[in-house]
Structure 1
Amino acid sequence: MTATSLPPTSAPRVRVRVNRLVLYTVLVALTGLFIGPFGWLILSGLKTPAELAASPVHWLPTRFQWQNFADAFHLIDFFGYARNSLIYAVLVTLSSAWVGFGFARLEAPGKRTLFGILIGSMMLPQMITLLPTYLIFAKLGMVDTYWPWVFWGLAAAPYLVFLFRQFFAGLPRELEEAAIVDGCGYGMIFWRIFLPQSWPVLSASFVIAFTWSWGDYIAPQLLLSTDKSTLAVAVMTTYVTSAGTPVANLQAAASVMYVVPILLIFLIAQRGFVAGMATTGLK
């Protein structure tokens, strides 16, 4: 063996280290690619309007304008818009759990056909159903009220129903049989037995539902007045001058605060979200 040659057992270790180095390099590059726009948004929220409009581009603000975040927060009711999304997310999560429980544990004629129609509705784009939905709510006099949120929430979401159905179908039949022997109805079985055990799917469904409602722009803009709408609509319509020109630095600051709740909710519910997506399976 020459001085520059490696022992037979060292070559695999070198290859493993090189592979790890390449993998980490790719991951760091992808992380920078995804974090870069958010970092630029933060810097934009810390600049003055003149710095944002300057040419060439000023990468860093001359002085950090932290007041932009305070102004953006006080110009709209942040907590009110968050409450709207939170109520909708809770409604759609619980209603989806109830419908998923029915598909998983109850027997009725045509159940498989109804479940097939439900799965098929997942392929319909939102734009196809938006106009009929608006016409229905307009005929009922519910435009610019909270009732669209209530009915959307109680109607459940097909994808979340699918998640709950798959999870509940995997629980042992002996649980409900023992509860029925003890005199429980299916409503009590759902609330006291099945729902407490579904916390992984509840976490995943809540994150998904909150993200949908938090990021929805077209439907709230069409059906709801600004004070009853979501934060996405408020950010796009509030931070403008009297001439209708967007105030870019306040929009950037508001957009940062708009993204933060989603990040916090995902970080808090991350373990349950991953577990919920992993345990639903395909049965």
Structure 2
Amino acid sequence: MSATSPFAKPRVRLRAGRLVLYTVLVAITGLFLGPFGWLVLAGLKTPAELAASPVHWLPQHIQWHDFTDAYRLIDFLGYARNSLIIATTYATLVTLSSAWVGFGFARLSAPGKKTLFGILLGSMMLPQMITLLPTYLIFAKLGMVDTYWPWVLWGLAATPYLVFLFRQFFAGLPRELEEAAIVDGCGYATIFWRIFLPQSWPVLSASFVIAFTWTWGDYIAPQLLLSTDRTTLAVAVMSTYVTSAGTPVADLQAAASVMYVVPILLIFLVAQRGFVAGMSTSGLK
């Protein structure tokens, strides 16, 4: 095709538009990966290099032993196991309970349903600090401090944001599926478990990743409710690598933080297709 073809200029514009788009995406990706990259470099530096002014972006003498030292100074696998147990338990329970509540809001009719759903969404505006003291007092009265039962109860109670995701997804499914199941004699519990839940795997995947990340990265609740032996890796990383004077050892904290973040990155990489699909199929309807 000649350069004077009427299709030549649109193709050039399309390529230029894609180039601009890719440039913007690469820049945004760099902004998000920048802090993690700095964390990796900080874990490879000496304390003197971290305290140097002006800042040396690249380590002059790579300190791989910071990672092994950070691993050996604490029971790293033990704390990671505690975090894994809490995060997996909570993420599984809250995903299923939120799916059940979202199904009710999407497919059942009852007086005041819209009002209740509005109150549910409004509760997302409450800061965690407001409910921190009442939550602690309730669990203390029930004898659940220094146990993992609070995360079980939180998981069974569902959470507003995940309920919203499931409600939006279930509201978009055809009414014929539900009507055909009712004609066959199925109750709503059977319809939920056998028809609606299996079709919601993208939202299930997204909800599990979100809930797991919330719990894995939570510092306040484990610090408040758990003892040192039963606490999570997030608390151990932030409170253990200190000098006798209480000053943080920055290079060890950075190395430990890198190892702390890696499991979350791996989980997201494995489940990213379902995560993206779940977020896109739960849009506003």
Task: List per-residue Cα deviations over 1:141-195 (Å, max 9, x = no partner).
Answer: 3222212111111111101001111111222233333334444333332222211
Q: Where in structure 2 are the equivalents of 1:1-283 lying within 5 Å?
A: 7=4, 9=6, 10-74=8-72, 75=74, 76=76, 77=78, 78-283=80-285
Mapped partners of 2:150, 2:232: distance in 1: 13
Identity of counterpart residues, as a percentage?
82
Query: CA 1:13 to 1:245, structure 2 compared with 1: closer, same or farther past 3 Å?
Result: same
Structure 1 segments of 4+ aligned residues over 6 angstroms from their partners: none
Distance 1:192 1:32, change over 3 A: same
CA gap of 1:72–1:7, structure 2 versus 1, over 3 A, is same
Amino acid at match of 1:68: D
Cα distance change, pair 228–110 in 1 and its aligned pair in 2 (3 A) = farther
How far does residue 40 in structure 1 lie from its aligned partner after superposition? Answer: 1.5
* Alpha-carbon shift at residue 239 of structure 1 (Å): 1.5
Q: Secondary structure of the equivalent of 1:227?
A: coil
Q: Say whether the 8 Å CA contact 2:102–2:163 is kept in structure 1.
A: yes
Tell me which amino acid in the other structure corresponds to 2:171.
A
Distance 1:182 1:25 in 2: 55
Matches of 1:138 and 1:34, distance apart in 2: 40
Within 1, Cα distance between the matches of 2:28 and 2:172?
A: 37
Cα 1:181/1:227, change in 2 over 3 Å: farther
**1:93 and 1:160 in contact (8 A); partners too:** yes
Deviation at 1:52, TM superposition (A): 2.4
CA distance in 1, matches of 2:104, 2:278: 19
Tell me if structure 2 keeps the 8 A contact 1:201–1:273: yes
- Structure 1 residue matching 2:100: 3-state secondary structure: helix
RMSD: 2.4
Distance 2:176 2:9 in 1: 55
Mean Cα deviation higher: 80-89 or 7-16: 7-16
Shift of 1:24: 3.4
Consecutive unaligned residues in structure 1, runs of 5 or more = 1-5
Q: Deviations over 1:67-122 (max 9, x none)?
A: 32233234222233222212111111111111111222233333222222111112
How far has the Cα of 1:8 moved from its partner?
7.7
For residues 40-62 of structure 1, what are the alpha-carbon distances to aligned partners after superposition, in whole Å with 9 as ceiling and x for unaligned?
A: 21111122333323444443334
1:227-259 deviations in whole A, cap 9, x for unaligned?
Answer: 333332221012223332212111101111222
- Return closer, same or farther for 1:140/1:50 CA change in 2, 3 Å cut-off: same
Q: Is the 8 A contact 2:82 2:231 kept in 1?
A: no
TM-fit CA distance, 1:133: 1.6
Q: TM-score, normalised by structure 2?
A: 0.86
Partner of 2:229: helix, strand, or coil?
helix
Deviation at 1:196, TM superposition (A): 0.9
